[in-house]
Amino acid sequence: MSALEPVIGLEVHAQLATRTKLFCGCETRYGAPPNTQVCPICLGYPGALPVPNEQAIELAVRAGLALGCTIGRASRFDRKSYFYPDLPKGYQISQLDLPINEGGELRVGERVIGLERAHLEEDAAKSQHVGSQTRVDFNRGGVPLLEIVSKPELRSPAEAEAYLRELRLVLMTIGVNDGNLEEGSFRCDANISLRPVGSETFGTRVEIKNVNSFRFVRLALEAEIARQKVVLGSGGTVERETRSWDESSQKTVAMRGKEAAADYRYFPDPDLPAIALTDAQVEAWRDAMPELPAARHRRWLDAGLTDYDAGVLGQHPATAAYFDAVCAASAMSAKKVANFIQSEVLGHIATDGLDATLPVPADALAELLDLLDADTIHGQAAKKVFGLMVEEGLGAKALVQREGLAQETDEGAIEASVRAVLEAHPDQVAQYREGKTKMIGFFVGQVMKASKGKANPKAVKAIAERLLEPN
C-alpha cells in the first residue's frame, strides 16, 4: 500500500463572551445550578419569539475581522433540524447559506491555513449521564457560539494542535472568547481522512466530536489515523461516521453515522430578521481592534526578544499587556524585562478566563527593575525585594532602604575589600595567575560575603581582574 497522508479540518465552537444568550435575556454564567438560567425562549416553548443579541453579532464580526474574513453586510439565521433530548425546539438556530463571516485565514508557524467560514449559532443543552439516567441541563442551551470552520489543509495532529492554540489566543486577545477549555467555552470537532501522498482526492471523512483539550485533539487524531491505516491496510473501507475520544482506552469510539447537510433540512428561520450591517459599523469595529498576536510577536522580536520569550509572554492577553506596560514604564531593555518576568513573576500570575491576578502593579515592577538596571541593587537583592513586594505590597525603593540592600558603589572601598581578600588567599591568587581564571568567581564570592552582599559584583569582578594582572 502506498504511503498515506492525513487530511484534517477543524470546526471550532467558541462561546462568545456575552452576558446573555443569543436570542434571550438569560445569563450565560458557568456553574449555575442546573436549569436556573432558562426561559420560554431558550426552552423552545410555543409562541416564544427569539431576539438577536447585538453584542454577539459585534463579537462575531470582530472575530471575522481578526481572521481576515469577508464580513457579510447581509446575513441570516437558518433552522437546522434534528431531534435530540438537548434540543427542545427540535432544531438549532444556525447559519448556512449567508453566514456572517466567509473565508479568512490563520497563520500557524510558516503555514497559512485557510478558513471556510465563521458563523453564528446557538449552543445545545448539556446531557449528563448518571447511571441508567440521562439528565439535561438547559442552562447552556441558547448560549451564543461562533463556529469557525477551517479548510481541510492541516496535515498532522501536531499542526492541528498548534492551529487551535493560535486561534484561541487570537480570540482571547480581541476579547471575543475566554479560552476556557475546562468549562467547554472553546472546543472543537475534528474531521480526518487519509489519502495517498500526492493525491488530490479526499478519502472518507470521519468526525471526532466535541474535544475540549489541545492534548486530547492531538491524541485523538493520532489514534484515528492509526485506526484508519489498519482498516485500509487490511483492504477494508473507512465508514463515514461520527466518533468520540475515549481517554481511558486512548481510542476513538463510534457514535453514529455522519449526517449530510440535506439530513438537517436547513431553511431560513421565519422568526428572525436578516442581519444588516453598515460599512460604518464594520469600520468602527475594525478601528477598535487591538494589536493581534502575530503583530505583537514581530514587534517583540524586533525589540530583542527570542521566539521562546515571545511565545511564553504572549500565552495570555493579560500577561502580554503586563509585559508591555512594564517595558513602557522602565528604562531596562525589553529582553532583560522579559527575563525577569519569566524567571520571577509568571509563577505569581493567576489567570481565569480573560482575567488575571497580577502580583504587583506594572509601574511598581518597573521601579524595581530600574533599581536593578542602575546597579543600585544586584540580581539576588532584586529577587528578594520582589518577594517582599508580593508579600507586603510596599514599593521597591522603600524595601531596599529598609532591608539595607543598596549596593556599595564607592570604588575605593570596593578595591580595599578586594585587596584584603587577595592578600588572605595567596594560593588561590597563584592558581588564577597560572591560568585557572574561573577562580575569579571565588574572589567575587569572598568580597560579597565580607560586604554582606552590598558590594557591586560587576565592580568587584572588574577590580579583581585588574589587581590580578601580572605586574
Q: What are phi and psi of 141, to 5 degrees?
A: -60, 125
Q: How confident is the model at residue 408 (pLDDT cuts 50, 70, 90)?
A: confident
- Which range has the worst mean pLDDT, 185-189, 367-371, 427-431? 427-431
Half-sphere exposure of 349 (CA within 13 A, CB side): 25
The predicted structure's pLDDT at residue 414? 85
**Interacting residues of 210 by C-beta distance below 8 A, sequence separation 6+:** 187, 188, 189, 244
- Mean pLDDT throughout 370-392? 94
User: 387, 403, 419: which is the final residue of a domain?
Assistant: 403
The per-residue pLDDT for range 17-71, each reduced to its tens digit, is 999 999 999 999 999 999 999 999 999 999 999 999 999 999 999 999 999 999 9
- Which range has the worst mean pLDDT, 111-115, 121-125, 442-446? 442-446
Say yes or no to pLDDT of 409 above 80.
no
What is the SS3 string spanning 351-368? EECCEEECCCCHHHHHHH
What CATH number should be reported for the domain holding residue 428?
1.10.10.410
Beta bridge partners of 133: 130
Query: Same structural domain for residues 318 and 367?
Result: yes
Say yes or no to pLDDT of 382 above 80.
yes
Angle at 157 between CA 155 and CA 163, to 5 degrees: 80
Reduced to 3 states (helix: H, G, I; strand: E, B; else coil), residue 17 is coil
Q: Which of 263, 260, 257, 220 is nearest to 241 (CA)?
A: 257
Rounded to two decimals, what is the model's pTM? 0.88
Say yes or no to pLDDT of 84 above 90.
no
Q: How confident is the model at residue 333 (pLDDT cuts 50, 70, 90)?
A: very high
Say yes or no to pLDDT of 421 above 80.
yes
Query: Same structural domain for residues 265 and 357?
Result: no
Q: How confident is the model at residue 335 (pLDDT cuts 50, 70, 90)?
A: very high
Query: Same structural domain for residues 85 and 173?
Result: yes
Residue ranges making up the domain that contains 33: 4-283
The predicted structure's pLDDT at residue 102? 98
Say yes or no to pLDDT of 324 above 70.
yes
- % of the chain exceeding 90 in pLDDT: 76
Query: Same structural domain for residues 82 and 157?
Result: yes
Q: Which of 79, 88, 77 is nearest to 141 (CA)?
A: 88
User: Which residue type does 459 have?
Assistant: A
- When comparing pLDDT for 238 and 262, which is higher? 238
User: Which residue type does 93 have?
Assistant: I
Query: Same structural domain for residues 156 and 303?
Result: no
Say yes or no to pLDDT of 188 above 80.
yes
Query: Same structural domain for residues 425 and 399?
Result: no
The predicted structure's pLDDT at residue 413? 84
Q: How confident is the model at residue 260 (pLDDT cuts 50, 70, 90)?
A: low
The predicted structure's pLDDT at residue 378? 86
Query: Same structural domain for residues 61 and 87?
Result: yes
User: 403, 419, 449: which is the final residue of a domain?
Assistant: 403
Structural domains of the chain, count: 3
Query: Same structural domain for residues 176 and 300?
Result: no
The predicted structure's pLDDT at residue 276? 96
Q: How many residues does the chain have?
A: 471
Burial of 368 (0-12, 13-18, 19+ CB in 10 A): buried
Query: Same structural domain for residues 268 and 351?
Result: no
Query: What is the DSSP secondary structure assignment for residue 162, as one 8-state letter?
Result: H
Query: Same structural domain for residues 94 and 212?
Result: yes
Query: Same structural domain for residues 260 and 324?
Result: no
Query: Same structural domain for residues 114 and 186?
Result: yes
- When comparing pLDDT for 461 and 116, which is higher? 116
User: 365, 380, 403: which is the final residue of a domain?
Assistant: 403
Say yes or no to pLDDT of 257 above 90.
no
- When comparing pLDDT for 390 and 417, which is higher? 390
Q: Which of 330, 316, 399 is nearest to 361 (CA)?
A: 330
Is the Cβ–Cβ distance between 293 and 169 less than 8 Å? yes
Q: How confident is the model at residue 222 (pLDDT cuts 50, 70, 90)?
A: very high
Average pLDDT score, the chain: 93
Angle at 243 between CA 238 and CA 249, to 5 degrees: 105
The predicted structure's pLDDT at residue 258? 67
